[in-house]
Amino acid sequence: MTLARSPIVHRTRPAAGAPAGALVLLHGRGADELDLAPLLELLDPEQRLVGLAPRGPLSLPPGGAHWYVVRELGYPDAPTFLDTFAETSSWLDTALEEVGLEQGRAVFGGFSQGAVMSYALGLGASRPRPAGILAMSGFMPTVDGFELDLEGRAGLPVSITHGTYDPVIGVEFGRDARERLEAAGLAVSYREDPVAHQISPGAIAQARAVLEAALP
């Protein structure tokens, strides 16, 4: 397998005024930083927030940007995942500092691989507590050398949405995340829609409500 790694590039959508926080959107496998750009306007139409959309640093067959190598669902390849997690964390710290926002004013949202990275950045034991997580059609990662801090995230607003007929990342991963996070005391909003591996209008509506609650 040919694996090329590049520095993280990103797209920024400024807030209309003084930002109330930041919405960081992470794309799915094989896409890029423009893929979820329309979600910025749907989730934050009043432009209260700074929008940040990074590009995954890996280039892999059959093309597009990736966050890690896929070997087994639920278990990202450790070397590529850990490198990406460290690189994305460093980029994020700098990006938030540049716009004058604390880590606790950031909400992480993502689709598919981007949802996995949103869980990692929002729940990782080495990361600060964010304002919230919007996970669409993903899973909570299990990786050797990486730990989640669920107890330290009690009360954190989380939106989990998944397609009941998802053939790529089965709905059981969404249900598992709901059970684990609810058991740890996080404020989980959960929704399934009768769709495949995609973002439904209902998923967007729930994510917007959780975002507004996380960053009022």
Chain segment 107-130, per-residue pLDDT in tens: 999 999 999 999 999 999 999 999
Query: Do 147 and 123 meet the contact criterion of CB atoms below 8 Å apart?
Result: no
Q: What's the pLDDT score for residue 34?
A: 93
**What whole-number distance in Å separates Cα of residue 153 and Cα of residue 103?**
14
Q: What's the pLDDT score for residue 70?
A: 95
Mean pLDDT of 179-192: 98
Mean pLDDT of 153-161: 98
Mean pLDDT of 78-101: 96
Q: What's the pLDDT score for residue 4?
A: 79
Q: How, if at all, do strands 187-193 and 22-26 pair? A: unpaired
Which comes out higher in pLDDT, residue 7 or 76? 76
Query: Do 22 and 13 meet the contact criterion of CB atoms below 8 Å apart?
Result: no
**E strand intervals along the chain:** 4-5, 10-13, 22-26, 50-54, 58-59, 65-66, 106-111, 132-136, 157-163, 187-193
Q: What's the pLDDT score for residue 61?
A: 85
Q: What's the pLDDT score for residue 26?
A: 98
**Percent of residues, the chain, with pLDDT higher than 70:** 99
Residue 85: half-sphere exposure toward Cβ, Cα within 13 Å = 28
pLDDT tens by residue, 47-73: 999 999 999 999 998 899 999 999 999
CATH number for the domain whose boundaries are 4-214: 3.40.50.1820
Q: At 128, list the tokens.
A: 């600060």
Tell whether the model's pLDDT for residue 35 goes beyond 90.
yes
Measured from the Cβ of residue 42, the count of other Cβ atoms closer than 10 Å reads: 14
Q: What's the pLDDT score for residue 62?
A: 84
Query: Do 30 and 66 meet the contact criterion of CB atoms below 8 Å apart?
Result: yes
User: Collapsing DSSP states into helix, strand and coil, what is residue 114?
Assistant: helix
Tell whether the model's pLDDT for residue 169 goes beyond 60.
yes
pLDDT band at 1 (very low <50, low <70, confident <90, very high): low
Tell whether the model's pLDDT for residue 3 goes beyond 90.
no
**What whole-number distance in Å separates Cα of residue 23 and Cα of residue 50?**
6
Tell whether the model's pLDDT for residue 131 goes beyond 60.
yes
User: Collapsing DSSP states into helix, strand and coil, what is residue 75?
Assistant: strand
What's the burial of 212, exposed, middle or buried (CB within 10 Å: 0-12/13-18/19+)? middle
User: Collapsing DSSP states into helix, strand and coil, what is residue 84?
Assistant: helix
Close Cβ partners of 51 (under 8 Å, ≥ 6 residues apart): 11, 12, 13, 14, 22, 23, 25, 40, 44
Q: What's the pLDDT score for residue 2?
A: 54
Tell whether the model's pLDDT for residue 83 goes beyond 60.
yes
Q: At 86, list the tokens.
A: 């460290």
Domain positions in the chain are 4-214
Q: At 19, list the tokens.
A: 């930002």
